[in-house]
Amino acid sequence: MAKQLDWASLPFGYMETNKSFVANYKNGAWDSGTLTTDHSITISECAGVLQYAQTCFEGLKAYTTKDGKIVCFRPDLNASRMADSCRRLEMPVFPEDRFVQAVIDTVKANIEYVPPYGSGATLYIRPYMFGSSAVIGVKPADEYQFRILVTPVGPYFKGGVKPIKVRISDLDRAAPHGTGDIKAGLNYAMSLHNIVDAHKCGYAENMYTDPASHTYIEETGGANILFVTKDGKLVTPKSNSILPSITRRSLIHVAKEYLHMEVEERKINKSELKDFVECGLCGTAAVISPIGEIDDHGEQIMLPSGMEKGGPVLTKLRETLTGIQMGTEKAPEGWVVEIK
C-alpha cells in the first residue's frame, strides 16, 4: 500500500525512505551487500572520491502500471552502462546480475514509496559507486562502496508538458576521447556553473556542440537531443563523447518498430537547426522535454512546433514509450521488470 503523500506536489528532490542498499569492495572482492536503515556515509577525509572525484552513478525509476504491478524499466542497461563507467574510472565493476537484483531488493524494501498509477509521480532509483579508501597520490583507491538510494519524485511536468528555451553554449561538456560517454560525476560537476548561468539568463538548458570544432550538436548538460525533419524522420546526434542514454535508445526502437519512422543517427551541423520542425531533450526524468526555441548567440531559432505545446511527432513518441512503461502498450521482451 502506497504511503499517503501528495504525489502530484512532490518535487524532483530527495526524501529519506526506509532502506538503502550498500556493498563494500575490499581486498579485491565485493562483500555480499545488505539493506540498511542508515542513510549516512562515513569515509576517510582522504577518500578517493573526495580527492580525485572517483565516482559514477546511474538513474532509473520504478512505476505502478495500469494493472497494479510495480515495475522498473530496463535495469540491465543501467547495470551495463555503470560497468562501462567503472572500467573507465579504474573502479571495480559491481556484477551486472547483482546490480539488477539489488535494484529489485531496494525497491521491495521501499514499496510503499512507489507512487500509485495515474499520479504522475515515480520512485527514482539512484545507484552509485565511489572510492572510499584514502588516496593521496594520484591513483585509484583500493576500496569502494556501491550504494542504491531511492526517493519518490513528483511529475516532471507540473501542469502539462511545456516547451523549453535553450541556448548553444560556448563552454564544453566533455573533451574528445574523454569521459563524455560514461556517467561520471565529474562530467556533471563540469556543467554546474554553466547551467546556473543559463538559468540566470532565462534558459532551461545549454545545448553543447562538439569540443573539437564547435560545429556539431552533441547533447545538453543532462540529456540527449532528438530532432524531427520536415518529412517526419527522427534524427539524433552521433558522437563518441555523448552519453548513451537508455531513454534515447528506447525511443529509437519505439520510433522504428512501433511508429514505423525512419531514424538517422549522424553528425548534425548547427547550421541545420533552422530546418527541423521539432526538437526535444530525452532522459529518465522527463522522457522527452520539447524545445520551442534555441538561442544561437543572439539568433533565435523558433521551432515550428512553438512554445505552447510539444510537436505531434515527439508527443506521440513520448506517449508510446510512457505507455510501454506504464503497461498500456505491449513492451518488447525484457524491457519491463516486475518487482515481486
Q: Do the beta carbons of residue 225 and residue 173 sit within 8 Å? A: no
Number of Cβ within 10 Å of residue 170's Cβ equals 11
| 316 has catalytic annotation | no
Side-chain-facing half-sphere of 66: CA atoms under 13 Å: 9
Residue 85 burial (CB count, 10 A) = 24
**DSSP single-letter state for residue 332:** P
Residue 298: which residues within 8 A CB-CB, separation 6 or more? none
What b/e string do you get for 314-331 counting C-beta neighbours within 10 Å, with b at 16 or more? bbbbbbbbebbbbbeeeb
Catalytic residue among 19, 61, 165, 183: 183
Helix crossing, 246-257 with 75-88: angle to 10°? 140
- The dihedral through the CA atoms of 156, 299, 270, 255 has a sign that is positive
Among 45, 286, 58, 77, which residue's Cα sits nearest to residue 188? 58
Q: Do 96 and 87 contact (CB within 8 A), yes or no?
A: no
Cα–Cα distance measured from residue 226 to residue 243, given in angstroms and rounded to the nearest whole number: 14
C-alpha to C-alpha distance for 173 and 250, rounded to whole angstroms = 24
Residue 332 near residue 73, CB atoms below 8 Å: no
8 Å CB contact between 82 and 95:
no
Task: Answer yes or no: are the C-beta atoms of 195 and 205 closer than 8 Å.
Answer: yes
Using an 8 Å Cβ cutoff, are 319 and 310 in contact? no
* Active-site annotation, residues: 183
